Homo-oligomer: A and B are copies of this chain.
Amino acid sequence: MTADNLSTTFAALADPTRRAILARLRSGEAMVLELAEPFDMSLPAISKHLKVLERAGLISRGRDAQRRPCRIEAARLKEATDWLERYRRYWEESFDRLDSYLHTMKKKEKKHGRK
């Protein structure tokens, strides 16, 4: 069910460590030890975060028991982005309003001059 996928995806993203791990994986696949390095966190704690990401389908891990690099999986991230994109007009409208406000302010400034 898409509703559940989205909830699981957003819940997995609602943590700064997990987002930092995903950000790190943007520069290529990595092993658990490499992923753990920048964090002041135990390896089991990092592994737990990786499990949350893996269960949410946001990352996958190699099959080889000796070397199981993590990599980003795109599909769920796309689903979440598609859901959020429906709200795009709201922030575009806000910027339009800000833009026309600044425009009006500039016009007023011109009219009254700078004293």
Which positions in A face B, CB cutoff 8 Å? 3-4, 6-11, 13-16, 19, 22-23, 26, 72-75, 77-78, 80-81, 83-88, 90-91, 93-94
Contact = CB atoms under 8 A, between A and B. Distances in A.
Given A11-B10, A74-B93, A91-B77, A3 B26 contact: no
Contacts of A88: 81
Contacts of A90: 72-74, 77
Chain A binding site: helix, strand, loop or mixed by DSSP? helix
Nearest to A4: B16
Nearest to A7: B14
A85 B84 CA distance: 10
B78 A81 contact: no
A72 to B, nearest CB: 5
